[in-house]
Amino acid sequence: MSELVKSFGELLKQFALSVDIVSETTFNRVRDYVVEYMRNELETAYFGLMTRSVIDGQPGLQTTWSSADQGSATTIRSGDGYTRQVSLCFDQRRALWVVSKDGTPLREVRDPDGFVDLWGGATQLPMYMAPVDEPMQTSIMLPLVRMGRPLGVMYLESVAHVEATPVAKGELMTLADAIAILIELRDANKSQTEGTDTAVTQLGRFLRTAKFPRLTKPNLFLASADDADIQVLGILREVLAEYDSMVSVFDWQEIADAGAITSQIADRIVRSRYGICYFSEPDRSDAGHKYVDNPNVIFEAGMLHALINTPDAPPSGWIPVREDDSPPAPFDFADQRIERVPRDQDGKVDEERFRKQMHRRMTALLKEDGGR
């Protein structure tokens, strides 16, 4: 089993297909893993499951679990229309990814035309019913279907505007398939087999340790010395700001959380897919060079390289930046070109040239990684 390739959804579905019996306790533990995963990956503030039921003698849906410990029930239709967006999702077996057209919280939308379905472009959606008293910006609903039989709906809500990326949609569909299998097994009401508990524990270990594909923007770690050239750092930050829609930047100099700075840096490096390391800092030893390589940045670069690249692969995924007037590099970059800070005879940074260099490298970096 490859931890670099498998997603959590694939692992969960593999687990669901490998067990014969799922007790209520087992189902609840697995569901908690899914909730933890969704909170980390899509910033979900609410997760709920509704299953088919009979409400006032009519086909309906009823909440069987919610992260807010509260639920509701609804008929599928009222008059000629659907009662809620979740009812449409269930009845038409159609996934929905709903946001508002103008960026306002969903509960403030009063016109059916004010909703946008980022999944399949559904129009004239029913009105939104808030599951909890929070200004949700994104509502994601997926039908739970097993062997052609609709079982219910899985839905997630976030106070953030979450984009419907192809990776996220594929992962959520896999998760919905897995949960549908588990619901069917749970509803069989059979006793738990001996190996089930071990399998669930292993699933939790995979969630905490495996490297799963990101569902949101990947992270880029910007490493530099504490007294690195502020003009060079300013240009790097300006260039990275232009790629804001594609990456989230972790700049170590902007870490303001309380606690040990070393552990916080390590945490951000582990969560990053890309990196830029500006190695140089002023040489105050009068050893004949204006700059030297900062040992902390060298160490952080080593961590990035080890995490991003497999042992037998050529270096990729991060960009080294270094000053020319430095001692020989204490590391081997034979397979990866260093971006050198261009300066004129007076030592001033050639800003235009440096920006072009970094634009070229960033564009190439993201293009090469586009299929991951």
CA 268/CA 113 separation, integer angstroms: 41
The pLDDT value recorded for residue 230 is 93
- Looking at domain 219-368, its CATH class is alpha beta
Residue type, 4: L
Output 199-203 pairs: Cβ under 8 A, ≥24 positions apart: 199/15, 199/18, 199/19, 200/15, 200/26, 200/29, 200/30, 203/11, 203/12, 203/15, 203/30, 203/33
The pLDDT value recorded for residue 285 is 81
pTM, to two decimals: 0.51
At 117, which helix (H) or strand (E)? strand 115-117
- Give me the tens of pLDDT residue by residue for the chain, a chain 372 residues long: 445 447 888 888 988 888 877 888 888 888 888 888 888 888 888 999 999 999 989 999 998 888 887 778 899 998 889 999 999 999 999 999 999 999 999 999 998 889 999 999 998 899 998 888 899 999 999 999 998 889 999 999 999 999 999 999 999 999 999 999 998 888 875 444 445 566 677 777 766 666 555 567 888 999 999 999 999 999 999 999 999 989 999 898 877 555 567 778 888 888 888 999 999 999 888 778 899 999 888 888 888 888 776 655 555 688 999 998 888 876 665 445 789 999 999 889 999 999 999 999 999 988 876 544
User: Nearest to residue 341, comparing CAs of 227, 234, 221, 220?
Assistant: 234
Is 8-209 CATH 3.30.450.40? yes
Calculate helix-pair angle for 166-187, 24-42, nearest 10 degrees.
170
- The answer to whether the beta carbons of residues 205 and 11 sit under 8 Å apart is no
- Residue given tokens 């140089």 in the structure block: 280
User: Nearest to residue 180, comparing CAs of 145, 155, 148?
Assistant: 145
DSSP three-state, residue 45: strand
Cβ burial 8-26 (10 Å sphere, 16+ → b, else e):
bbbbbbebbeebeebbeeb
Q: Given the DSSP bridges, would you call strands 248-251 and 219-224 parallel, antiparallel or unpaired? A: parallel
Show the CA angle centred on residue 335, arms to residues 330 and 339, nearest 5°. 70
Please count the CA atoms within 13 angstroms of the CA of 313 that sit on its side-chain side.
Answer: 9
First to last CA, the chain: 18
Q: Two tokens at 155?
A: 């839905």
Domain residue spans of the chain: 8-209, 219-368
CA 267/CA 287 separation, integer angstroms: 35
The pLDDT value recorded for residue 190 is 47
DSSP three-state, residue 177: helix
DSSP three-state, residue 354: helix
